[in-house]
Amino acid sequence: MGAEAEPLEAEAAEVEPVAVEPAAFEPAVAASAGGGQSAVEPAAAVLDVARAGGWETVSLDLSGVEDKAAFMDRCARDLALPDWFGRNWDALADCLADLSWAPPARGRLFVVSHWAAYARTAPRDWRIAQEVLRDTVTHWRASPTPVGVLLDLDPDTAPEDPDPDSQPAPGPGPGPGPGLG
Per domain, the residue ranges of the chain are: 38-157
Distance CA 169, CA 100 (A): 52
Could you tell me which residues are beta bridge partners of residue 110?
58, 149
Within 8 A by CB and 6+ apart from 94, the residues are none
Give the residue from 83, 88, 78, 84 showing the smallest Cα distance to 128. Answer: 88
- Cα angle: 143, vertex 5, 138; to 5 degrees: 30
- pLDDT at residue 54 greater than cutoff 70: yes
- Cα angle: 135, vertex 141, 146; to 5 degrees: 105
| pLDDT score of 56 | 93
Give the residue from 137, 140, 138, 112 showing the smallest Cα distance to 126. Answer: 112
3-state secondary structure of 61: strand
Query: What's the whole-model pTM score?
Result: 0.65
- Cα angle: 96, vertex 100, 102; to 5 degrees: 75
Which class would CATH give 38-157? alpha beta
| pLDDT score of 150 | 92
The DSSP string of 62-88 is -TT--SHHHHHHHHHHHTT--TT--SS
Within 8 A by CB and 6+ apart from 5, the residues are none
Could you tell me which residues are beta bridge partners of residue 112?
60, 151
Residue range 93-103: mean pLDDT, rounded: 95
Residue range 89-101: mean pLDDT, rounded: 96
Q: What is the pLDDT of residues 106-155, one digit of tens each?
A: 999 999 999 999 999 999 999 999 999 999 999 999 999 999 999 988 66
Distance CA 41, CA 33 (A): 9
Strands laid side by side in the 55-61 sheet: 55-61, 107-113, 147-151
- pLDDT at residue 176 greater than cutoff 50: no
Q: What is the pLDDT of residues 161-175, one digit of tens each?
A: 444 444 444 444 444
Q: What is the pLDDT of residues 20-50, one digit of tens each?
A: 444 443 444 333 344 444 444 667 778 888 9
